[in-house]
Amino acid sequence: MNTLISHISSLASVAQLVEHPTDTRAVVGSTPTACTNSVIPRDLQRSRRNALYCTYMRRTTFVIIVLVGLAIIAALTASYQKNSSGELSAATGNAQAAVDVPFTRITEGLQSSVTKPVNYLITSESELAALWKIVKATGEPPSIDFTQEAVIAVFAGERPTAGYSIAVSKVADVEGKRLVTISLMQPASDCVTAQVITAPYEILRLPATPLPLTHEDTVATVNCSE
């Protein structure tokens, strides 16, 4: 029991030295050692065990500093690689984001019963039959497999004269959406046009998609003097 108490007491003394390395409180009959600024009795200075302990502490401290430095470098390297990989992936994703979608015009015209600018997505035979009546098209609508394809109809609405037209110029899948670019052509003010109300439209077919549809409109003026 006395041996255990003595051992515990020694550990407490060592812990105190480690915890207070700058303690300079004088102890009678003691001098500072090279291991720490604390004062240790002379009989402990002459002890080989104390010398080994000081050497061990210096080596341990050095090893701990090296390990911490390596851990910080590894963490910074991993963070840099992650950020670089994310930026590269984002750049690659943006470069590959837009995918052009092929389409085929079914019909177009200048007269329809649609008086306002509007666009329709047709996904069934019954909807296509109703659309065919709206544009007053002759003949029967084309046969389309709506499990594989869809139909888009774009309308310019009523226009005061001839010289107007509307057409889909591009379709692309971009950022989780199908973007339809619609171009409206209008005559310049110096154009001589028939004074008749028109309602241009275009109908096209393209591959079906589960993506939501959106559109952007562009307007171009036709210069009749050229």
Q: State the Cα–Cα distance between residues 199 and 161, nearest whole angstrom.
A: 9
pLDDT at 93: 53
User: DSSP secondary-structure letter at 198?
Assistant: B
pLDDT in tens, the chain (226 residues): 443 333 334 443 333 333 333 333 334 444 444 444 444 455 544 555 555 556 666 777 777 887 888 888 888 887 767 666 565 555 555 555 789 999 999 999 999 989 999 999 999 999 999 999 988 888 889 999 999 999 999 999 999 999 999 999 999 999 999 999 999 999 998 888 889 999 999 999 999 999 999 999 999 988 877 6
pLDDT of residue 66: 79
Q: How far apart are CA 52 and CA 58, in angstroms?
A: 10
Long-range contacts of range 46-55, CB-CB < 8 Å, 24 or more positions apart? 53/14
Q: What are phi and psi of 101, to 5 degrees?
A: -110, 125
Looking at residue 69, its pLDDT comes to 80
DSSP string, 146-172: TTTEEEEEEE---BSSSS-EEEEEEEE
Instruction: Using alpha carbons, select from 224, 226, 219, 223 the residue that is nearest to residue 185.
Output: 219
3-state secondary structure of 10: helix
Q: Yes or no: say if 157 and 114 are a contact pair by the CB < 8 Å rule.
A: yes
Residues contacting 39, CB < 8 A, separation 6+: 23, 24, 25, 26, 27, 30, 31, 32, 33
State the alpha helices, DSSP H only, in the chain.
2-19, 42-45, 48-95, 125-134
**pLDDT at position 145, please?**
95
**Closest-CA residue to 150 (of 212, 209, 208):** 208
Given a contact cutoff of 8 angstroms between Cβ atoms, the answer to whether 199 and 128 are in contact is no
Residue 149, CA distances (Å) to 53, 104, 191 in order: 82, 11, 39
CA 208 to mean position of chain CA atoms:
26
d(CA 181, CA 177): 13
